[in-house]
Structure 1
Amino acid sequence: MTRSTEGTSQQLHLALRDALWLVPLVCLLGGAALCVAAAGIDRAAGGPLVPHWATGSATSAQTVLSTIVTSMVTLITLVLTVVTVAVQLAMGQFSPRIVGALLRDRPSQLTHGLFAATTVYALLAISQVDDVSSSDGYVPGLTVLLGELLMVASVVALVLYVHHAGQTLRVAGLIDLVGDHLHEQLRRVYPIDGSGGADRDPQEVTASEPGVVVMIDVPGIVAAAQAADCSLRLLPAMGDFVCAGAPMLVVTTGSGERLDHRRLARLVALSNERSYPDDPAYGFRQLVDIAERGVSSPFNDPTTSVQAIDRLHDALRQLATRPIPGGEHTDEHGVVRLTTPALDWTGYVRLAFDELRLAGAGSPQVARRLRAALEDLSLVAPASRRGEIDRQLELLTAGVGRAFDDQSDVESASIPDAQGIGSGADVVRESEVGQSAHHVRVRTGR
């Protein structure tokens, strides 16, 4: 083979590998071939292969197939339009270089191919139905039945495709899409040879794939450690990202020879992004993101930030008097079998207020609402948990002082206000009875 021929072959390979149309075109041709084969089987059988109730009369079969063609053409038009808009949005919000990964997404290509195959199959199948040759007409039962099954498969594929597209177009979905392609490239370009990998350490349980820790089966891990007569330490915290091959669990006492490493790895569930059920810190994280976005340019929507702080305040108030377990987990004999990273009260307070305090100190609404939340938490939290709240108040006071040049603005932004600006002591007037009741609440914490 000459050098020019090799170059042409490589160019053709690259063009076909990155082509969006290749898989749908192959599926379209497959749908046509399937129709020809099914029609041939029906005619060769010489009799009905499918019960009459499954296909109906010749007129009914033609109506069904015509409806399939019409609906599939409409569906393909709609899907392609939505895909085009989604790709444009992804280009504008994330990166124009993300388009290639989206177009090479194999599940999307297969879904489009199924739609195309169903359309051409039904279109060709209509001509196989004869409603005038006899009193009942001729109905190729297998051909019609396969058309109906393809339509059902298309409906199922549409539902799955909508779910897949929604997952893919999220930030985590797009990052994972590109990351998975990068993994494939690394495996292809830099394959592992026989001497490249190190021997498995029996004292470590490693991750088989990358992902974020979304669930930890503590009872299962404790039981496995007890059966192997050892103790384990979980390295990543809930919500941490773990690289493929990175250690997740290490043996702290005893030997890991008797541990089932694959089973233990499955007891720490990994996903492409954090979720709510076992990770309350993620709820705090999302509220903080909303609040911080509200005080950043070009949004400048401090009222939204105040609403998010309302829920952060409520969550911390519920947590203030509740016990927060540590990271030690014991078996029924009281032996510590698993140690995990655990967020404590200080961690939750810092998660809720550190970024907002820095970003929102220059916004009077946000600064006043933060002070109201912190002062209220100081009233309800036990004495052992007030240290971090007092620290946040001191830092907030310093941040407000740096954000405003005029002392009167500093004083105004330092007044606690549950509405940001709307219910502070400088904007509302209470009766003497109301003021007395407020003073009682401050003194008693009720």
Structure 2
Amino acid sequence: MSRLRFQRFIRSSLWLLPVLCLAAGVLLVVATLAVDRATGYRLVPQSLTGTPSDAQTILSSFATAMVSLTSLVLTVTLVAVQLAMGQFSPRIVTALLDDRFNQLAIGLFGATFLVAVLTLREIRGSDTGTVPGLSMLLSYVLMFASLVVLVLFVHHAGQGLRVAGLIDLVGDRSREFIVREHGELPVVTGGPDEVVAAEPGNVVRVDRPALVTAARLADCVLELVPVVGDFVVGGAPLFRVHPGARAAVAADGGPAHRLRIADVARHVLLGPERVHTEDLAYGFRKLVDIAVRSIAQPFNDPTTTVQALHRLHDLLRQMATRPLPPGEHRDEDGVVRLLERTVSWDGYVRLAFDEIRLAGASEPQVTRKMCAALADLRSVAPPDRQEPLDRQLRLLHAAVRRAHEDEEDVVAALTPDTEGIGSGADVTVAPPPRVVPAPH
């Protein structure tokens, strides 16, 4: 039990790693100063370290910079903790404070400060004095390492402030516990004709030409199970290998023409978060999130929702007459080798309007903009793409009638207006027609 308590103290201690870094810095500088004294401060020539005046100026700058960098790291860490507590969960604080990278950055900056100060004390004279050359080189190395860690820390902090970063922080640590306690083998749910994902993550990129080539060499058809952007859990099916490929699937070894699971899986890139590279639906999702959040309490900002609807309207208008990506990919002989599910026109329309319609049915500014957008899309969409738009208009009318009791309010809320309330036919005045006199 004492050993377990000690292990828990080591893992949960916030100051242990920084203190160890400080102690290591002191030991290093004491050792280098001892070597410098033993060699009469002639081990490293002053052509590398500069004169005593130069060394004093450089070390003073190092010490000042380290104090600022340490303050920056502590400030950013506290800001991250406050944001995470207020926006996500107070229980995320421990995971953030236990972040070893933040502790390492604080410890490195503190150790560099101590090395610079202790080396500064050893400099004698001005232009003709002595400089502890080895200790100066140690200061240079630690300062360079501090600059590198600073850049990495900024990147690390930016990633950690994202909601996906915080979720991954807790998820990865919990997953590490499962692996540590129960082994490294994932829970495989796939069958003999399925290729499973070794690690969890979102599908961010698919190398379709490479997959078509691999399937052609193995004389099989690959079916991508998740849609691009989907989250795949570790051990879940990534591909299905269709009939005729059972004998071609091999986890290891085999002739060159046989399909290797590892070769197929590496052509699908899994990431911690969705990206826009091949995932158009993710752009829609971001805009919808902004729109829905803007009309939720306590924000109540329908104007921002209308701005998001402007861009959703524009995106759907660009897609209305264009063919959507096919779900079949053929080889050079015209044989289908790769199958994947893609988002349909109906899917994009629902993604753009369903949640906003449900959240904003009581906001006339939102419903008027939606009516204008849907009317415009109906004017350009081909006949086979009209039904999803008609469905949205029908559901919007029903939702507005449930939200408003007065018929005049219902009529006003369903009047098309591209700016919500601002350019509709009921709030603008048309200029009188200009009469051009006939020539004599």
TM-score, normalization by structure 2? 0.92
Deviation of 1:22 (Å)? 1.3
CA distance in 2, matches of 1:197, 1:157: 37
Residue type of the partner of 1:235? V
Aligned to 1:123: 117
Map 1:350-361 to 2 at 5 A: 350-361=350-361
Q: What SS does the aligned partner of 1:69 have?
A: helix
Structure 1 residues 108 and 36: alpha-carbon distance in aligned structure 2, compared to 1, 3 A threshold: same
Deviation of 1:372 (Å)? 0.2
Task: Please say which of residues 396-405 and 263-272 is displaced more in the overlay.
Answer: 263-272
Select the residue among 189, 206, 215 that pairs with 2:196: 206
Work out whether residues 303 and 365 of structure 1, in 8 Å CA contact, stay in contact via their aligned partners in 2. yes
Select the residue among 93, 108, 113 that pairs with 1:114: 108
Residue type of the partner of 1:104? D
Work out whether residues 230 and 256 of structure 1, in 8 Å CA contact, stay in contact via their aligned partners in 2. no
CA distance in 1, matches of 2:84, 2:69: 22
Residue type of the partner of 2:167? I
CA distance in 2, matches of 1:192, 1:272: 20
Structure 1 residues 312 and 136: alpha-carbon distance in aligned structure 2, compared to 1, 3 A threshold: same
Q: What SS does the aligned partner of 1:127 have?
A: helix
Deviation of 1:36 (Å)? 2.0
Aligned to 2:419: 419
Residue type of the partner of 2:118? L
Work out whether residues 190 and 235 of structure 2, in 8 Å CA contact, stay in contact via their aligned partners in 1. no
Deviation of 1:202 (Å)? 5.2
Residue type of the partner of 1:304? T
Residue type of the partner of 2:368? R
Q: What SS does the aligned partner of 2:204 have?
A: strand
CA distance in 2, matches of 1:91, 1:152: 34
Residue type of the partner of 1:401? R
Structure 1 residues 51 and 227: alpha-carbon distance in aligned structure 2, compared to 1, 3 A threshold: farther
Structure 1 residues 209 and 60: alpha-carbon distance in aligned structure 2, compared to 1, 3 A threshold: same
Aligned to 1:168: 160
CA-to-partner distance for each residue in 1:275-299, whole Å, 9 max, x for gaps? Answer: 1121111110010111111211111
Residue type of the partner of 1:221? L
Work out whether residues 287 and 312 of structure 1, in 8 Å CA contact, stay in contact via their aligned partners in 2. yes
Map 1:44-443 to 2 at 5 A: 44-46=38-40, 48-131=42-125, 136-191=128-183, 203-253=193-243, 254=245, 255-257=248-250, 258-431=258-431
CA distance in 2, matches of 1:243, 1:149: 42
Task: Please say which of residues 123-132 and 226-235 is displaced more in the overlay.
Answer: 123-132
Deviation of 1:41 (Å)? 3.2
CA distance in 2, matches of 1:204, 1:308: 40
CA distance in 1, matches of 2:349, 2:187: 43
Q: What SS does the aligned partner of 1:415 have?
A: coil
CA distance in 2, matches of 1:40, 1:336: 73
Task: Please say which of residues 84-93 and 389-398 is displaced more in the overlay.
Answer: 84-93
The unaligned stretches of length 5 or more in structure 1 are 1-6, 435-446
Q: What SS does the aligned partner of 1:278 have?
A: coil
CA distance in 1, matches of 2:188, 2:287: 43
Q: Does 1:8 align with 2:2?
A: yes
Aligned to 2:438: none
CA distance in 1, matches of 2:233, 2:103: 29
CA-to-partner distance for each residue in 1:111-164, whole Å, 9 max, x for gaps? Answer: 2221122111112211232226xx621122221022012112111211110111
CA distance in 1, matches of 2:300, 2:41: 73
CA-to-partner distance for each residue in 1:75-131, whole Å, 9 max, x for gaps? Answer: 212321221122122111111110111112122222222112211111221123222
Residue type of the partner of 1:427? V
Structure 1 residues 225 and 348: alpha-carbon distance in aligned structure 2, compared to 1, 3 A threshold: same
**What is the number of equivalent residue pairs in this alignment?**
424
Residue type of the partner of 1:32? V
Residue type of the partner of 2:66? M
CA distance in 2, matches of 1:143, 1:11: 39
Work out whether residues 210 and 244 of structure 1, in 8 Å CA contact, stay in contact via their aligned partners in 2. yes
Residue type of the partner of 1:249? F
Q: What SS does the aligned partner of 1:212 have?
A: strand
CA distance in 2, matches of 1:203, 1:75: 54
CA distance in 2, matches of 1:276, 1:128: 56
Q: What SS does the aligned partner of 2:338 have?
A: strand
CA distance in 1, matches of 2:51, 2:423: 74
Work out whether residues 28 and 117 of structure 1, in 8 Å CA contact, stay in contact via their aligned partners in 2. yes
Q: Between the two proteins, what is the percent identity of the paired residues?
A: 54
Aligned to 1:4: none
Task: Please say which of residues 91-100 and 184-193 is displaced more in the overlay.
Answer: 184-193
Aligned to 2:255: none
Deviation of 1:165 (Å)? 0.7
Deviation of 1:50 (Å)? 3.6
CA-to-partner distance for each residue in 1:162-219, whole Å, 9 max, x for gaps? Answer: 11111011100000000011012212333469xx977986522221211111111111
Work out whether residues 111 and 158 of structure 1, in 8 Å CA contact, stay in contact via their aligned partners in 2. yes
CA distance in 2, matches of 1:234, 1:44: 68
Structure 1 residues 219 and 247: alpha-carbon distance in aligned structure 2, compared to 1, 3 A threshold: same
CA distance in 1, matches of 2:74, 2:2: 31
Q: What SS does the aligned partner of 2:129 have?
A: coil
CA distance in 2, matches of 1:312, 1:51: 66
